[in-house]
């Protein structure tokens, strides 16, 4: 395998962060293709050429019947075998914002590489729904890493980046599922306060803008090769992307670039 991985940034009608995501992977040293979902369904063998699959943010199919629902249905019904084969190889998969919604609503998360199987129906025990404030929310958040074994999060303890969504509140069917995620270190990142403190008690809207259970901002699969998160790492690639950059000492790379570098370096 080449030490320079090939990356498929998979977009659908309504996706709006694909170019920024491609740029982020390119800045990390990867070779990136911006691929429309129809291209992949017409030539499914193309996915075998990629080591990293990323579903970027946006509003796929306008989120007309729910965020990520139509795209997730496409993955299960039209690309199920293709994605199953991708997950079984030594690959990485990333879902950002709408991409996280797609991974969760297709069942790829939390199952990931372990036992995800394609098909038209499956039992969904977790979902992302409307923010507690009932509206689209865009702001910067602080997070603490809870899943250090995840490839994308290697060497990261805390991270800051922007979020922008209306349906980012993570809900679970029962406490048993939440406890299972904790035991398997699948809670990837949590929203935290200024002291980087986060636990199961839901923080105020100032720190957890959507009201996600246990302040969960992202999930990992058990293998650590799949990550989905609501905030946007591709929007903090340079230190000057931060709204307070003139008052901060940092220069050079922004926090988000590390996730993409970790993914590319995994194949070095």
CATH number, position 19: 3.40.50.880
Q: Where are the beta strands (DSSP E) in 135-251?
A: 137-145, 158-165, 169-172, 187-191, 216-220, 226-229
User: Is 222 a domain residue?
Assistant: yes
Q: Give the whole-angstrom CA distance, residue 202 versus residue 212.
A: 7
Catalytic residue ranges? 97, 232, 234
Q: Which of 4-13, 30-39, 71-80, 148-157 has the lowest mean pLDDT?
A: 71-80
**Residue-level pLDDT at 111:** 83
Residue-level pLDDT at 120: 67
In a domain, 184, yes or no: yes
Give the Cα separation of 86 and 92 in Å (integer): 9
Range with lowest mean pLDDT among 12-26, 59-73, 112-126: 112-126
pTM value?
0.96
The lowest-confidence range among 73-87, 131-145, 203-217 is: 73-87
Residue 144 inside a domain? The answer is yes
Residue 151 within any structural domain of the chain: yes
Domain for residue 244, yes or no? yes
Please state the domain count of the chain. Answer: 1
Q: Is the pLDDT of residue 176 over 90?
A: yes
Instruction: For residues 259 and 201, give the distance between their C-alpha atoms in angstroms, rounded to a whole number.
Output: 27
Residue 124 has pLDDT above 90, yes or no: no
Q: What is the mean pLDDT of residues 166-186?
A: 94
What is the C-alpha to C-alpha distance for residues 191 and 170, in angstroms, rounded to an integer? 12
Burial 162-191 (b: 16+ CB within 10 A, else e): bbbbbbbbbebeeeeebeebeeeebbbbbb
The phi and psi torsions of 160 (rounded to 5 degrees) equal -130, 140
> How would you class 212 by CB atoms within 10 Å of its CB: exposed for 0-12, middle for 13-18, buried for 19 or more?
buried
Could you give the percent of the chain with pLDDT greater than 90? 82
**Sign of the dihedral defined by the CA atoms of residues 105, 111, 113, 117, in that order:** negative
Assign 23 a pLDDT band (cuts: 50, 70, 90).
very high
Range of the domain at 43: 6-265
Looking at the domain assignment, is residue 1 inside a domain? Answer: no
Q: What was the pLDDT predicted at 1? A: 44
- How does the average pLDDT of the chain come out, rounded? 94
Residues 225/151, Cβ–Cβ less than 8 Å: yes
């Amino acid at each position: 395998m080449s030490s320079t991985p090939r990356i498929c940034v998979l977009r659908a009608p309504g996706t709006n962060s694909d170019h920024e995501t491609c740029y982020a992977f390119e800045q990390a040293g990867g070779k990136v293709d911006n691929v429309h979902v129809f291209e992949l369904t017409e030539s499914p063998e193309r996915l075998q050429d990629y080591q990293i699959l990323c579903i970027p943010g946006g509003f796929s199919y306008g989120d007309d019947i729910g965020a990520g629902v139509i795209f997730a249905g496409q993955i299960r019904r039209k690309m199920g075998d293709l994605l199953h084969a991708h997950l079984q190889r030594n690959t990485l998969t990333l879902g950002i914002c709408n991409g996280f919604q797609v991974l969760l609503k297709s069942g790829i998360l939390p199952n990931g590489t372990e036992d995800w199987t394609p098909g038209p129906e499956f039992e969904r025990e977790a979902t992302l729904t409307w923010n507690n404030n009932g509206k689209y929310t865009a702001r910067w958040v602080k997070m603490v890493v809870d899943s250090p074994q995840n490839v994308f999060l290697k060497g990261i303890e805390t991270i800051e980046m922007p979020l922008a969504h209306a349906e980012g509140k993570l809900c679970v069917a029962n406490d048993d599922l939440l406890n299972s995620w904790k035991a398997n270190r699948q809670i990837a990142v949590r929203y935290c306060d200024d002291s980087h403190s986060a636990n199961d008690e839901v923080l105020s809207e100032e720190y957890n803008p959507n009201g996600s259970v246990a302040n969960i901002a992202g999930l990992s699969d058990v293998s650590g090769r799949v990550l989905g998160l609501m905030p946007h790492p591709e929007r903090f690639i340079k230190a000057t992307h931060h709204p307070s950059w003139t008052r901060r000492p940092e220069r050079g790379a922004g926090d988000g670039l590390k996730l993409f570098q970790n993914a590319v370096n995994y194949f070095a």
